[in-house]
């Protein structure tokens, strides 16, 4: 029974020690201002903390007790010895909490109470405990295995947490507005860009603009369009999306050219261009199915002229790739995803 209680306490200690979910304090240690499990469990106010921390002792002990119970190993004698030898550690823990740190750790007190109960229980049942050398050696070996496993797992979790913290710091640094505009290249020929006929989605009066130059045959364009559409859908009053194409009308062997032409024609005729875009880039319909669904008679001269001017602007700026992503008159750096642009919105 005490082993099961110990496992539960061990879980709470682990959550506190590794700061799971970024909680400041365990729910068991918020009774009043005199209690703080974090202060005690994270404390380095003792000489041996470089090698063994207070968190190690209950985790090893209760893991050892519970696993021994599960696997049917006779470890009673070792539990008695550990509980007995832990009494000075308990005394030091209480001294540390009361005198040095002036904070109480409820989890630590419960652990101490369980260990003291163990000692009392086995003192009252001394003759029932088997102190054979064989059982002690098996128990000691099992304890060593549990200890090695714990220190290995602990080091891996600490490394993982350190990497997560470093990543959070890098993300915060990356999302600073001055950093974004520092590494983003300015777009040239802005007036010519503004003059292009483009497909417009969202609020044309918004202060933030995202322009995508796509190609229907480009898989990366599917991702860029979906992220851009999600951004506009989530912040319809803050950002507008313009779609243009970077492909040659002279490449008549390109079967996907008709997709771009049809979408432009749908937009020019105030038809359902947005669902046509979604069918292609989001739903990823097969070419024949898409063209059958969105078949349209249109003025090829006007559509070809729009596509030609868009291509010329891309060539003028040496954009020989897709997707080209432009946000507030700068090129979106490759290090940024479109869904991160919300951190750089103008208000």
Selection from 113, 104, 133, 89 nearest residue 26 by Cα: 104
pTM: 0.61
Tell me how far CA of residue 235 lies from CA of 5, 244, 337, 341, in angstroms: 49, 21, 16, 11
What is the rounded CA–CA span in Å between residue 344 and residue 331? 13
Segments making up each domain of the chain, as ranges: 2-174, 186-344
Cβ burial of 197 (10 Å; 0-12, 13-18, 19+) is: middle
Tens of pLDDT along the chain (347 residues) come to: 566 677 777 777 877 777 755 555 566 666 667 777 777 777 766 656 667 777 788 888 888 888 887 777 777 767 777 778 788 888 888 888 888 878 888 888 888 888 888 788 777 766 656 667 777 788 788 888 988 998 899 888 888 877 777 777 777 778 888 999 999 999 999 999 999 999 999 998 999 999 999 999 999 999 999 999 999 999 999 999 999 999 999 998 999 999 999 999 999 999 999 999 999 999 999 999 999 999 999 999 999 999 999 999 999 999 999 999 999 999 999 989 999 999 999 87
Domain over 186-344 is classified CATH 3.40.30.10 = yes
């Amino acid at each position: 029974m005490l082993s099961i209680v110990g496992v539960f306490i061990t879980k709470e200690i682990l959550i506190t020690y590794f700061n799971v979910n970024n909680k400041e304090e365990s729910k068991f240690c918020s009774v009043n201002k005199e209690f703080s499990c974090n202060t005690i469990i994270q404390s380095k106010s003792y000489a041996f903390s470089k090698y063994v921390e207070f968190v190690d002792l209950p985790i090893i002990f209760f893991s050892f007790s519970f696993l021994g119970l599960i696997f049917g190993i006779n470890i009673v004698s070792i539990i008695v010895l550990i509980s007995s030898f832990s009494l000075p550690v308990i005394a030091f823990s209480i001294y540390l909490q009361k005198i040095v740190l002036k904070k109480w750790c409820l989890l630590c007190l419960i652990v101490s109470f369980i260990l003291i109960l163990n000692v009392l229980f086995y003192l009252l049942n001394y003759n029932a405990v088997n102190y054979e050398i064989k059982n002690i050696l098996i128990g000691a070996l099992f304890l060593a295995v549990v200890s090695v496993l714990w220190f290995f797992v602990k080091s891996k979790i600490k490394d993982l947490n350190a990497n997560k913290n470093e990543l959070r710091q890098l993300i915060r640094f990356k999302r600073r507005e001055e950093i974004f505009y520092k590494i983003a290249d300015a777009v040239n020929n802005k007036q010519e860009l503004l003059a292009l006929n483009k497909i417009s989605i969202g609020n044309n009066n918004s202060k933030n603009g995202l322009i995508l130059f796509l190609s229907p045959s480009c898989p990366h364009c599917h991702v860029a369009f979906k992220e851009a559409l999600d951004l506009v859908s989530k912040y319809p009053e803050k950002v507008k999306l313009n779609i243009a194409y970077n492909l040659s009308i002279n490449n008549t062997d390109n079967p996907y050219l008709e997709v771009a032409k049809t979408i432009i024609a749908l937009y020019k005729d105030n038809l359902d261009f947005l669902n046509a875009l979604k069918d292609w880039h989001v739903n990823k319909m097969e070419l024949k199915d898409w063209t059958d669904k969105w078949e349209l008679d249109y003025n090829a001269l006007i559509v070809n002229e729009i596509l030609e001017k868009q291509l010329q602007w891309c060539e003028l700026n040496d954009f020989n790739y897709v997707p080209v992503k432009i946000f507030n008159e700068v090129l979106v750096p490759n290090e940024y995803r479109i869904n991160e642009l919300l951190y750089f919105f103008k208000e």
